[in-house]
Amino acid sequence: MKIAFLTDPLENFNIRKDSTFAMMREASQRNHELYAFMPNDLAYVGGQVVALARRIKLTGNTNWFEAEQSKECPLHKFDVVLQRKDPPFDMEYVYATYLLELAEHSGARVFNKPAAIRNHNEKFSITEFSQFITPTLITRDEVRLRHFHNEHRTIILKPLDGMGGAGVFKVGTDGMNLGSIIETLTANGTRTIMAQRFIPEVKEGDKRLLLIGGKTVPYALARIPQGNEVRGNLAAGGVGKAQPLSAHDLKIAETLAPILAHRGLLLVGCDVIGDFLTEVNVTSPTCFQEITQQTGFNVAAMFIDALEKA
């Protein structure tokens, strides 16, 4: 297959941890052709969606790839396009999904499906599976947020468009800085945010469950907060520990996996703290390499198997 990756700059990859690199390495070992381009390489020209894409080859060295000269190519000429661009999920990200969806009309096969990415805000989409979530409020109204704190005493406040734990605040029973945090996150009542009852089991890890092609990876990566930090995100300094899924983890995963796969979400990362679903990641889920390195289970192989089948 000719696989085109829409991604962040290759030069910035940490190949010891990057899940997109793990996908590329597995695909290369199966003799698939690899191409890469970035959002600014996309365009609608002459009635079709094209990209300035570079064919790349993996070297196995520190300088991990070699790239040919970029060439303009209609997206439907590739066998598959993989959307692996990290958030922020801003309007430029949305515009890229419009272009990718337009390319689908010409026959391009894009994963995850662009419309499905748009329709599944990574924070908001947990509300569809309310049987698995902690008490949650989504609003920009300060009065509602204060009532929520009064009811649940210790809460988490976070933006709906963040990643890597950015902008996440814990407010304790004393309500210290609650007003200032609400003003900052809601931009004085103009931006909608999420509040959730604090889940103390976060000290045992914020677990990443991976769903691939409607099936469940049998291991989770528990991202454990360090020191006085409440965020387990690896980007916020959390330490990842791979572990088998608990019975309740498996129940969550097996409930969501077929539903989301049917919508064109080939790869999903569910975040679970304790027994509660906290996020459904669909843009560029990670943790492939950490799980593989610690357990021997080849997550990238499972992904490329699913991609070939799809």
How far apart, in whole angstroms, are the C-alpha atoms of residue 124 and residue 278? 9
Q: Which of 54, 158, 197, 207 is catalytic?
A: 158
As to burial, measured by CB atoms within 10 angstroms (0-12 exposed, 13-18 middle, 19+ buried), residue 201 is: middle
77 a catalytic residue: no
281 a catalytic residue: yes
Q: Which of 84, 85, 109, 208 is catalytic?
A: 208
158 a catalytic residue: yes
Three-state DSSP string of 63-75: CCEEECCCEEEEH
* Three-state SS at 270: strand
Residue 182: is its pLDDT beyond 90? yes
Q: Which of 18, 104, 249, 279 is catalytic?
A: 279
Q: What token pair was written down for 128?
A: 């569809």
CB atoms within 10 A of CB 262: 10
Q: Which of 54, 123, 197, 207 is catalytic?
A: 123
pTM over 0.85: yes
CB 206 within 8 A of CB 223: yes
Q: What is residue 232's predicted lDDT score, i.e. its pLDDT?
A: 66
How far apart, in whole angstroms, are the C-alpha atoms of residue 269 and residue 260? 11
Q: Which of 121, 207, 231, 290 is catalytic?
A: 231
What is the band of 162 on the pLDDT scale with cuts at 50, 70, 90? confident
Q: Which of 54, 84, 85, 223 is catalytic?
A: 223
* Nearest residue to 71 (alpha-carbon basis) of 93, 91, 86, 56: 56
208 a catalytic residue: yes
CB 149 within 8 A of CB 303: no
What is the tens place of the pLDDT at every residue in 219-228?
999 999 887 7
Average pLDDT over residues 73-91: 95
Q: What token pair was written down for 134?
A: 């902690």
How far apart, in whole angstroms, are the C-alpha atoms of residue 292 and residue 300? 8
241 a catalytic residue: no
Residue 178: is its pLDDT beyond 80? yes
223 a catalytic residue: yes
What is the band of 236 on the pLDDT scale with cuts at 50, 70, 90? low
